[in-house]
Structure 1
Amino acid sequence: MNQAMAHVSDGERDRAVELVQQAYADGRLSPAELEQRLEVALTATSSHELEPVVADLPDEVVQLASTGGRITRAGDWHVPRRLRIESEYGRVRLDLSRAHIPHARIDIELWLAYGGATIILPAGASANADGVRTEWGRVACKAAGRQRPGKLHVHITGELPYGRLTVRSARR
């Protein structure tokens, strides 16, 4: 499909609106720029129209990769807005319960061929793992699925053909 003709998805639109709002909150956009960009983002009908709205705004993506080792993050660590994790055989453990998370929503992409992942959420956080595909693995999301006002929401996507994903809240 021609990129100029590609319809904009709700996810793309939401991401653009969030980036524009974050840029305004960070002081990188004036109120007039905020209003103009939001109008374009909310009325765009194609990805091509949406592109210039966010082209100059940073959208940090931190990538972690391993072939067979473990990827572990726990304690007081900085969680980026977007985290992409790739592992062929290793295990992944992300403990967000005591992490510094400056965003209301974070996106985690998991690309795990044979390994499994455990994501531990802070109290009150919600998660949506509907975008994770498996073949012989399984996805168990034991956290609330609906985002709560003022609380962290974690959106998880990716592929775990033979792996397992467990998402749960921190134990008290």
Structure 2
Amino acid sequence: MALVAEEVKARAEVYHGDELCKEKSQLLLKEVGLPNGLLPLQDIEECGYDRETGFVWLKQKKSRTHKFEQIGKLVSYGTEVTAYVEQNKIKRLSGVKAKELFVWIGLSEICVDDPPTGKITFKTPTGLFRSYPVSAFEVEEKVKEVKENKEVHVKETVEVKETNLEEKKRRGMLI
């Protein structure tokens, strides 16, 4: 079942592959003022963004259930997630459900009040809603951590090599 028409794909930014799609979806969320951990999808095959209309889609190999630990909520992401994004808001959301007691309820809208430290509100098509702290949906950026660790490792390696050189010079091993 293809939810995205070819004419939409033709004018959109389209990406393929899990790693690139995760990166692009997190960047988009940050760009529109939403927490970067809002879409914890895995095995993403395709994602796209039509900047003109705000239409976004993500396709993953299989449905996924994720528990947001800070709030203790289970959220189910279907194989295709679509929405329209604008600043601090996701509208006309499809493919996402939250578990409330024993029932899975479809979500239709997500908005952030007073970003970035405020509340994030999830709404259903029937008008029901729940609000939580934005921080419950943020994840640390692993790319920065890896880069910083590499820089520290390189710095330590250079310092060790310089120390070894100085030691050899002191002992008269190097001229």
Q: Radius of gyration: which is bigger?
A: 2
TM-score (norm 1): 0.23
Structure number with higher relative contact order (C-alpha < 8 Å, ≥ 6 residues apart): 1
